[in-house]
Amino acid sequence: MSTLIKGGTIVTAGDICAADLRMDGEKIAEIGKDLPQKDGDAVIQAKGRYIFPGGVDVHTHFELPFMGTISADDFKTGSIAAICGGTTSFIDFCFQDKTKPLAEAVKAWHEKSKKAVADFGYHMGITDYTPAVAAEIPSIIKQGITSFKFFMAYKGVLQIDDGQIIGIMEIIGKHGGLAMVHAENGDMIDTLVKRFVAEGKQPPEYHWLSHPALAEEEAVHRIIELARFTDQPIYIVHLSSADGLEKVKEAMSRGYKVIAETCPQYLLLSSDLYYKPNFEGAKWVMSPPLRPADHLEKMWDGLSKGFIKTVATDHCSFNFKGQKEMGRESFAKIPNGIASVGDRFNLLYTYGVGKGRLSLTRFVDVVATAPAKLFGMYPQKGSIAVGADADLVIFDPEAGGEVSAKTHHHNCDYSAYEGMKLKGLPESVLLRGKFAVRDGKYVGEQGAGRFIARGPSGKMM
């Protein structure tokens, strides 16, 4: 049996057109004007609705052991939140347990991800680069895990040095993988954290004061030079500052292979939130931190002009009660991260398209198509085309709403975006041809998510 979506406006990264769409099983079978209803066809009326490709969030941390606790959303709650918010595929970071083989981490992630209700892949997170780890990289890539993150920050925990970075980039490149980096100078941060702690400075605002934009700017500059040295592309995750962005622009203008991702928080929220009384500022402790308000429009500008290619979330949720509170005695112990996998698509629509900062096609590109292309999932994901997976968002541009912990699907007791108004919401969401959200209600099947063995990453450049 096939299903016909009639009367909607199909929006892709390249086009906007009024057309009908037929799905057959899990795939898009036909797109065209006034498609006839066949015997047994189910029909979805989509007049006045946009049909978007399902969103692709390439940066999540579900059930991640981190900073002495475990992130609050697991693959079930995280992927339900994602799909209710228009995101049908995500890539989670599969972190190597230091000193252990990469393969062990992959096994652990396959176990955790059985609960997923949206499709998913993994990036490999390398925390300890040794000859044994290097030897495992080709086999990881063969399993469809074609991107690898490492850290220039979190000194003493995750940070690796330039020599190790060079080694990793060379081996990843040799086998067709893409290197991804958390670009902050961990030594600058460590110096400031130790200084503030020694001075008895405890409150949350010292988190952002110990992570200056200069630390990002320096690391972005350095990683670009290391990418030139190794002749490899580099994907910079969660770019947060106008200073870092300037370095990316400069490099792009010289033709260097740098790809930048940002997140809704670095477009919409600012560092004054750290000064909320009663330890509330802890809710926004993340790395990199929020920046002063004058960075935000510059980040939007970089996104609309194509210097920033993707918007992911870096979803890493921690409850305020019992988790963020671990840092009441010291800002340095507040688990880093916020929940937002369910908010990204809608925030980008309201504050990007709705405010005239992004065209409709650019919106689709940054939330779905570019991430799918960069990470080897296109055109199966991130597109509306015959033969692609029927992952679709039927979107009502007139629907109004508000972000709130009272209504969100995140397993988190607060929302970093509490009270922000939304205009435009998913009405229905389909995953491989099946309703996961119907008329605003989650109707998905338990464990419906499927692992995506991805093709080569970094091929869009």
Q: Which of 61, 76, 211, 295 binds ligand URP (CB under 6 A)?
A: 61
Q: Which of 287, 369, 383, 428 binds ligand URP (CB under 6 A)?
A: 287
Q: Which of 178, 316, 384, 394 binds ligand URP (CB under 6 A)?
A: 316
Q: Is beta strand 42-45 parallel, antiparallel or unpaired with respect to 2-6?
A: parallel
Q: Name the residue among 453, 345, 455 with its Cα closest to residue 122.
A: 453
Cβ distance to ligand URP smaller for residue 265 or 380: 265
123 binds ligand URP (CB under 6 A): no
Question: Distance between CA 346 and CA 81 in Å, rounded?
Answer: 12
Cβ distance to ligand URP smaller for residue 215 or 394: 215
Q: Which of 56, 105, 183, 286 binds ligand URP (CB under 6 A)?
A: 286
92 binds Zn ion (CB under 5 A): no
Q: Name the residue among 339, 330, 287, 322 with its Cα closest to residue 79.
A: 339
Q: Which of 216, 314, 343, 391 binds ligand URP (CB under 6 A)?
A: 314
Structure tokens at 324: 């963020």
Question: Distance between CA 311 and CA 452 in Å, rounded?
Answer: 20
Residue whose structure tokens are 């979107």: 395
CB 38 within 8 A of CB 68: no
Question: Distance between CA 461 and CA 71 in Å, rounded?
Answer: 33
Cβ distance to Zn ion smaller for residue 112 or 328: 112
265 binds ligand URP (CB under 6 A): no
216 binds Zn ion (CB under 5 A): no
Structure tokens at 443: 């109707």
Q: Which of 177, 337, 382, 449 binds ligand URP (CB under 6 A)?
A: 337
Q: Among residue numbers 416 through 435, which ones bind Zn ion (CB under 5 A)?
A: none
Interaction partner, residue 336 (Zn ion, ligand URP, none; CB < 5-8 Å by kind):
ligand URP
- Count of residues interacting with Zn ion (CB under 5 A): 2
Cβ distance to ligand URP smaller for residue 287 or 350: 287
* Helix/strand/coil (H/E/C) assignment for every residue in 321-390: CCCHHHHCCCHHHCCCCECCCCCHHHHHHHHHHCCCCCCHHHHHHHHHHHHHHHCCCCCCCCCCCCCCEC
Cβ distance to ligand URP smaller for residue 343 or 427: 343
182 binds ligand URP (CB under 6 A): yes
Give the Cβ contact number of residue 407 at 10 Å. Answer: 11
Cβ distance to Zn ion smaller for residue 22 or 61: 61
Using CB atoms within 10 Å of the CB of residue 40, give its burial: 0 to 12 exposed, 13 to 18 middle, 19+ buried: exposed
Find the shortest distance in angstroms from Cβ 151 to ligand URP: 7
Cβ distance to Zn ion smaller for residue 9 or 60: 60
CB 117 within 8 A of CB 400: no
Find the shortest distance in angstroms from Cβ 267 to Zn ion: 16
Interaction partner, residue 286 (Zn ion, ligand URP, none; CB < 5-8 Å by kind):
ligand URP
Stretch that binds Zn ion, among 135-143, 173-181, 297-305, 311-319 (CB under 5 A): 311-319
Cβ distance to Zn ion smaller for residue 243 or 314: 314
CB 327 within 8 A of CB 318: no
CB 59 within 8 A of CB 261: yes
Q: Among residue numbers 176 through 195, which ones bind Zn ion (CB under 5 A)?
A: 182
Question: Distance between CA 231 and CA 372 in Å, rounded?
Answer: 23
Q: Among residue numbers 313 through 372, which ones bind Zn ion (CB under 5 A)?
A: 314
Question: Distance between CA 153 and CA 158 in Å, rounded?
Answer: 7
Name the closest residue to ligand URP (Cβ). Answer: 336
Interaction partner, residue 337 (Zn ion, ligand URP, none; CB < 5-8 Å by kind):
ligand URP
Rounded to 5°, angle at Cα 439 from 433 and 445: 45
Rounded to 5°, angle at Cα 311 from 309 and 315: 145
- Side-chain half-sphere exposure of 119, counting CA atoms within 13 A: 25
Name the closest residue to Zn ion (Cβ). Answer: 182
Find the shortest distance in angstroms from Cβ 23 to Zn ion: 33
Find the shortest distance in angstroms from Cβ 337 to ligand URP: 4
Footprint on this chain of Zn ion (rule: CB under 5 A): 182, 314
Footprint on this chain of ligand URP (rule: CB under 6 A): 61, 182, 286-287, 314, 316, 336-337
